[in-house]
Amino acid sequence: MTLTDQATPAREGEELPARRVEAFLKENIPGLSGELEILQFPSGHSNLTYLLKMGDTEMVLRRPPFGRKAATAHDMGREYRILSALKPVFPYCPRPLAYTEDEAVLGAPFYVMERLKGIILRKDLPPELGFTPERTRALCEELVDLHAKLHNLDYEAIGLSDFGKPEGYVERQILGWSKRYRQALTPDAPPSEGVMGWLAANIPAGPARARVIHGDYKFDNVILDPENPLKIIGVLDWEMATIGDPLMDLGSSLAYWVEAGDGEEAEAMRMMPTNAPGMMTREEILTLYAEKTGLPVRPFTFYLVFGMFRLMGIAQQIYYRYFHGQTKDKRFGMFVFAVHILEKQAMELIREAG
């Protein structure tokens, strides 16, 4: 059994035009030779990710999904720019190689980056890794430490002062995700007006906090060193990265964090091994994160409810494409059930907060 992600032939309807891609690569990336082979990584839920092989060189191509997309989502240019700015100071980023807005190649903007090979954790810890509770906790601490390192960067010093608008960021996120959620509603999804109304009415007061934020930081977006699985060597999927409130980023991460004792419904949605013996709890993560960043993190309910609602929005947008036949990926047919469970969890947190 291999512990690294394996690419497979592209899904029906998501194939790439090989000749045009090959011509683009040879024109824009020096030193390539050989015939192009294109495979697809099957595990992504948003932007489509392909493995490109030419001779001994392996690269990764990212493009937006087919079908209806949110107007501000899947911005390949933004993703390419932040990778270019971060790589010199945050070496966990893949190296960006080429980008184009010319839709004559694929019918959409796209970019190409280096391939980082390593282990990506999915739902459960592979037995082959032999993780004890102590090793599992050490990996969890590594995950939090790297998140803190990202949030501690000086974004102005690396040329990203105009990459986002920190002032009003939180309010724009609530308004934006609420709009996208309503636009992606299907008849079998919950309206969720209670969650959206509570978030809009409870935006924390105080000065804007501005840091580089990833937008979707979690176990299956980091790559572990095959020689030392306790070490993270890469961070993937920067499509939602911006300059904004780091606690919104942390809330988005912890919305995925299903820990032991969260109950059957939460367990049914779990996508990562966050309930394994030795994993930190959400409260322990908050404490460690606060120590490493110096940021006050409590009370945290608003940020966790936002994270859950944002996750609802992501799942519902993907489900919308499946519901309307814009993708044939059968995994997406179950996403509406996750939306219902997340709404229930968010409303429970709201009630507990009074």
What are the CA-CA distances from residue 334 to residues 110, 181, 224, 263, 340 (Å)?
Answer: 28, 17, 29, 19, 11
Q: What is the CATH number of the domain that holds 179?
A: 3.90.1200.10
How would residue 147 be classed by pLDDT, with cut points 50, 70 and 90? Answer: very high
Residues 202 and 349 in one domain: yes
Give the whole-number percent of the chain exceeding pLDDT 70: 96
How would residue 2 be classed by pLDDT, with cut points 50, 70 and 90? Answer: low
Q: Which residue has the higher pLDDT, 271 or 74?
A: 271
Residues 263 and 301 in one domain: yes
Token pair in block for residue 8:
């497979």
Residues 63 and 105 in one domain: yes
Q: What is the CATH number of the domain that holds 44?
A: 3.30.200.20
Residues 36 and 139 in one domain: no
Question: Does residue 1 carry a pLDDT above 50?
Answer: no
Residues 194 and 341 in one domain: yes
φ/ψ (deg, to 5) at 53: -120, 125
Range of weakest confidence among 70-84, 97-111, 113-127: 70-84
Question: Does residue 46 carry a pLDDT above 80?
Answer: no
Q: Does residue 40 contact residue 51 with C-beta atoms inside 8 Å? A: yes
Residues 281 and 177 in one domain: yes
Question: Does residue 118 carry a pLDDT above 90?
Answer: yes
Residues 6+ apart with CB under 8 A from 54: 22, 25, 32, 33, 34, 35, 36, 37
Q: What is the mean pLDDT of residues 194-213?
A: 94
**pTM > 0.95:** no
How would residue 45 be classed by pLDDT, with cut points 50, 70 and 90? Answer: low
In a domain, 191, yes or no: yes
Number of structural domains, the chain? 2
In a domain, 12, yes or no: no
Rounded to a whole number, what is the largest CA-CA distance in the chain? 63
The whole domain housing 34 covers: 18-114
Q: What is the mean pLDDT of residues 35-47?
A: 84
Residues 108 and 247 in one domain: no
How would residue 145 be classed by pLDDT, with cut points 50, 70 and 90? Answer: very high
